Chain A
Amino acid sequence: MKFTLSWLKDHLDTEASLDDILDTLTDLGLEVEEVEDRAARLKDFTLAKVKSAEQHPDADRLRVCQVETDEGVQQIICGAPNAREGITVVLAKPGTYVPGIDTTIGVGKIRGIESYGMMASERELELSEEHDGIIELPSGEVGDRFVDWLAEHDPAKVDPVIDIAITPNRQDALGIHGIARDLAARGIGTLKTVEPKVIAGSFKSPINVTIDADTLDTAPHFTGRLIKGVKNGPSPDWLQDRLRAIGLRPISALVDITNFFTFDQNRPLHVFDADKVAGDLRVHRAKGGEEILALDEKTYTLGAGHMAISDDNGVESIAGVMGGAASGCTEETVNVFLESAWWDPIQIAYTGRDLKIHSDARYRFERGVDPDYTLPGLHAATQMVLDLCGGEPSEVVEAGAPMQTARSYPLDPARVGSLVGMEIARDEQVCILTALGFSASGSGDTLEVWVPSWRRDVQGEADLVEEVARVASLTKLEPKPMPRLRDGVAAPVLTPMQLRERAARRTAAALGYNECVTYSFIDRAAAELFGGGSDDVMLENPISSEMSHMRPALLPGLLQAAARNQARGMMDMALFEVGAAFHGGEPGEQHLLVSGLLVGQTGPRDPHGARRAVDVFDVKADAEAVLATIGAPAKAQILRGAREWWHPGRHGMICLGPKKVLGIFGEVHPKVLATMDVKGPAMAFTIFPEEVPMPRSSSTSRGAVTMPDLQAVERDFAFVVDAEVAALDLVNAAAGADKALIEEVRVFDEFIGGSLGEGQKSLAITVRLQPRDKTLTEDEIEAVAGKIVEKVGKATGGSLRG
């Protein structure tokens, strides 16, 4: 919402400085977004006087002027017809920036004669559209600053323009009068209120208005009148200046008047060219499908239920949103029908949204317009039409009646203290509310507060408290300690899953991975590669096709990140992310994942020969470390058969049973890498923290540690098995040979080829036997060894390597 200082002062009698006004606006909740100091861009222009103007020898329309400036007499070539001896002009010296032509003036030669500056027109200074000649000032001395001259003689031209943000509840601040009311309530000046004079009509309006019965609930009140014999044309300078200052283009007096009231009083109006209206006007609901060419020169098709104003020719206006072009006013309009009506905010919001029209009228009606100002607004506008365009008004045509909004709420003056924490005396509260147009009465504990018709947002006591606190100023609010929930040490607050998420994150970083936060939405193709991309998780209005689907996994985002880094020459990396992935489009159809990605080599080339390509066993170790840190059991199965984005032979699912997958590690399928432009190989892991069982006991006790004094014995075995045999099966078989005695079984070598047959491999394990109560004899060790060979043979078909 933009307005100028002088416009504000039409409604507010104040001596306050601009800065005070700005600070107060922001403090009141009318946040100042920008102040345009229009004087600033004109500060370099000075006054000068034309001493002589002679015909340019080589150009009919140019004159060679000798101009008296504060830097002596300068020669300036000028093409303006009014450039002549004796006039006081506005001078742009060489080096001055001229906003209207976006040019910095230099010294130049025009048709062979040197020119040292420019004499400006109003358009060149963006003061108006006037460009028939250069500015001639009626007064002023050579060397005076032009802005100072303007400030004294035509302040509206250099008035600061204030732009404030209006929160959706503040309908009253959509008119400059309402803004002034707020400032006055704060004591920054006195509100000037002028009751519009009732203008009697001298004849009956030939255009009548009716509202359909089924439309009355959202169009309860319509007023209008015909004004005949008007002379439309450009509006006067003061009006044009104001509209231009707030970013509106002056069009014609009639249209400018409607815009004036829109901003001055938050009272949108519409003007029909009465000669283009056929018959009477009827306010009704659209059946759906009616077309109208609106004032923005676009054609809209109304939906069923939208409110329209029609005559015998059809729809002439989208009620409260935008008028139609066919019956719009032009410079030739002589008979105008002026409309001041009240439209239901909700209906206007829906209509505006459906038709995607963003007009000042819609903006205001959907936030609320004072229903009690409908008829007064018509009279005020009539007066201005008569003043600016002449003409003769008809009697008022009125359909329906103003929406009844009178209501009151009880306000306990102590509520300001208990809700906000500010102590404000009862009298002061009454004073503030009264200044805002409320009426507060009552002598007991509770005030009865009546709400003015322009505050539809006020719906209860809390709103009244806000009004009081806001005008009293929240800057006065003093902090008050909030007692601790309990005395002493603060209780821990994180849930087990939150602790798990944090532990997983910190562990992954400790393992050397860099944490990423990637977007939750990815492109369909990438989502499809990872089992997602269905319509259920699609956005209706993505900002780009790269961000169209909720991610089914974290890996696609990490792979895209890897590709971007590789494109910048960083080839080796370890990335991870902790976050939600989406398995459906309903709330809650999301699950927590931890994913890590290793790409390239383990490190840079070094003199130690430590560099190698990352492999599956790197990510296996990392996955196991993350799982361990979040409390997964140490013993788990490793199964194959994960989804298609894993290398079919090089991945494993860390499981507690075939349906309880805690994590997956492996090589990413080369086709996926190729599609995603990642130079591989790439290893990855994904952990499902929510799948890891919670500990059954909340006891902090670890149980007793066993640390036998007797020395453990290690025995090595090498088995020849089929190449397909899983090492873990062999290890588990060996460990089962004597669960009491065998503390650990570890694979320390895998060998394929050599003298072994085709399809065979040798697995070497070391078995650690931990005696508990006496040293083992060689016979006892041999007995266990025999059982190990037997168990392994039975489980895997393997035999000791000869």
Chain B
Amino acid sequence: MDSLDNLRGAWLERIGGASDEAALEDIRVSALGKKGEISLKMRELGKMTPEERQVAGPALNALKDEVNSAIIAKKAGLADAALDERLKAEWLDVTLPARHRRQGSIHPVSQVTEEVTAIFADMGFSVAEGPQIETDFYNFDALNIPGHHPARAEMDTFYTHRREGDNRPPHVLRTHTSPVQIRHMEAHGAPCRIIAPGRVYRADYDQTHTPMFHQVEGLALDRDISMANLKWVLEEFYSAFFGTKVKTRFRASHFPFVEPGAEVDIQCSFEGGTVKVGDGNDWLEILGSGMVHPKVLEAGKIDPNEFQGFAFGMGIDRIAMLKYGIPDLRDFFASDLRWLRHYGFASLQMPSVHAGV
């Protein structure tokens, strides 16, 4: 048995000393291969007496298993070491910049339009649309602004060119989203609840005016809708939009297409040179509104004795500026990449009532 102990000691020592997988394989062959030392010893068992075999057999098998396990363990160890060595060599400077990926953005006008839509949709308003080139009738007459009305002159209207001999009144670029009211009434009647966001045009360009901007119109008609409902709807809207309770103040005013008419202010503070909505004791003029004028209902083929309701119009760009602290309206339409990236929104930042707007 001593010889077996020697044998074990010798092989385990050689295995432990193997420097790579090839040396280990050589060792395996010379120990456990067909002509390996241990294999040859196993063969000698046949020549032994049964008594000798009973002792030597289990001992040899144990030796064989032990050497085999040692080889496997050593092999794994060598592989780990080799991998460690390789990984050590595979060092990268991960502070290098990543491969470039373009980052797109959604324009604030689109984002805010979707925000407005999400909030009003929750209150049952659908989205109506209308043409940007409008007739005199839809933009003015149907809205109780006849040809001589001073409001026409005040609107800085863009007119389209008429060819020589075409004596129809020129079309206009709609000066407000209100014509959509008429078109919607004509097509769908009452009751109704709609908003109509979109581009509008006025011939004015200075620090706070651009010849194109965006408005959203609101119209709700039913048998018993009152201005008090309008106030509630607007306060619900502004509170949801600005994410804080916002009070409104109604002031008497006049727009030809409503009667009574009101300017609406929202509560705000001007402290520190910035406007904070929903706070403080100041008021900021934010939109024009009123109860739809009976003549406008008639123009929309709706009986003013049966239906009544409110309408309002507010500037989308303006509420975007207020909410997101964007200083200059003119930049909205300049497409400067720096501006688009700074004030734009991620594609997946989709406004919804449940996720917040």
Contacts and interface: CB of A to CB of B under 8 A. Distances in A.
Interface stretch (B20-28, B50-58, B69-77, B252-260): B252-260
A590 B132 contact: yes
A367 B105 CA distance: 49
A462 B260 contact: yes
Contact of B148 (A366, A462, A589): A366
A369 to B, nearest CB: 14
A492 interface: yes
Contact of A460 (B105, B129, B220, B294): B294
Contact of B150 (A367, A418, A463, A564): A367
A477 B231 CA distance: 8
A346 B223 CA distance: 35
B249 interface: yes
Interface in B57-100: 96-97, 99-100
B150 to A, nearest CB: 4
Contacts of A536: 160-161, 163
Contacts of B355: none
A474 B250 contact: yes
A539 B235 CA distance: 39
A734 interface: no
Given A419-B226, A515-B107, A29 B252 contact: yes
Contacts of B332: 517
Nearest to B294: A462
A588 interface: yes
A475 interface: yes
A641 to B, nearest CB: 30
Interface stretch (A144-152, A256-264, A335-343, A601-609): A601-609
Interface string A540-560: 111100010010000001100
Interface centre among A478, A511, A541, A568 (most CB of B within 10 A): A541
B49 interface: no
A611 B148 CA distance: 62
B279 interface: no
A728 interface: no
B106 A505 contact: yes
Contact of A520 (B114, B199, B250): B199
Interface string A513-543: 1111111110000000000000111111111
B226 A514 contact: no
A479 B231 contact: yes
A610 B102 CA distance: 13
Nearest to A457: B254
Contacts of A542: 158, 203
B170 A540 contact: yes
Interface residues of A, number: 105
A509 B104 contact: yes
A516 B107 contact: yes
Most buried by B among A462, A498, A517: A517
A509 B106 CA distance: 6
Given A518-B333, A565-B337, A31 B251 contact: yes
A169 B254 contact: yes
B219 to A, nearest CB: 13
A197 B340 CA distance: 69
Given A366-B148, A480-B228, A353 B254 contact: no
Contacts of B127: 493-495, 498
Which of B127, B131, B133 is packed against the most chain A CB atoms within 10 Å?
B133
A561 B252 CA distance: 43
A638 interface: no
Interface in A443-483: 460, 462-463, 465-466, 469-470, 474-475, 477-482
B149 interface: yes
Interface residues of B, number: 96
A349 B151 CA distance: 11
B140 interface: no
Contacts of B249: 475
Given A590-B133, A604-B100, A29 B160 contact: no
A480 B232 contact: yes
B125 interface: yes
Nearest to B350: A506
A538 B252 contact: no
Given A494-B127, A498-B127, A538 B254 contact: no
B263 interface: yes
B2 interface: no
Interface centre among B105, B160, B212, B232 (most CB of A within 10 A): B160
Given A474-B251, A512-B101, A541-B158, A466 B261 contact: yes
A167 interface: yes
A462 B291 CA distance: 9
Contact of B121 (A475, A492, A578): A492
Contacts of B135: 587
Contacts of B250: 474-475, 477
B102 A603 contact: yes
Given A29-B251, A580-B132, A419 B104 contact: no
B261 A506 contact: no
A169 B290 CA distance: 15
B40 interface: no
Interface stretch (A228-236, A300-308, A569-577, A776-784): A569-577
A751 interface: no
Given A475-B251, A539-B160, A168 B151 contact: yes
A510 B233 CA distance: 34
A506 B335 contact: no
Interface stretch (B6-14, B268-276, B341-349): B341-349
B308 interface: yes
A541 B133 contact: no
B153 interface: yes
Interface in A494-511: 494-495, 498, 502, 505-511
Given A420-B227, A482-B229, A564-B336, A31 B263 contact: yes
Nearest to B254: A167
Contacts of B100: 602-604, 606, 610-611
A419 B254 contact: no
Given A462-B259, A514-B340, A520 B132 contact: yes
B193 interface: yes
A517 B333 contact: yes
Interface string B204-237: 1100000110000000100011111101110100
A482 B191 CA distance: 13
B161 A539 contact: yes
Nearest to B249: A475
Contacts of A349: 148-150
Contacts of A478: 228, 231
B109 interface: yes
Contacts of B263: 31
Nearest to A579: B199
B106 A484 contact: no
Nearest to A607: B96
B126 interface: yes
A169 B258 CA distance: 12
A495 B194 CA distance: 13
A479 B228 contact: yes
Contacts of B203: 541-543
A719 interface: no
Nearest to A549: B161
Nearest to B199: A520
Contact of B254 (A168, A490, A515, A610): A168
Contact of B133 (A345, A510, A587): A587
A402 interface: no
18 contacts: A349-B149, A421-B229, A421-B231, A462-B293, A469-B227, A486-B124, A490-B121, A493-B117, A493-B121, A509-B346, A510-B347, A514-B340, A517-B109, A517-B333, A539-B159, A543-B204, A547-B211, A607-B97
Given A422-B227, A590-B131, 8 more contacts: A29-B252, A168-B150, A349-B149, A349-B150, A507-B347, A510-B347, A515-B105, A515-B344
Top-8 shortest CB links A-B: A421-B228, A512-B102, A603-B100, A29-B252, A466-B260, A561-B335, A167-B254, A485-B124
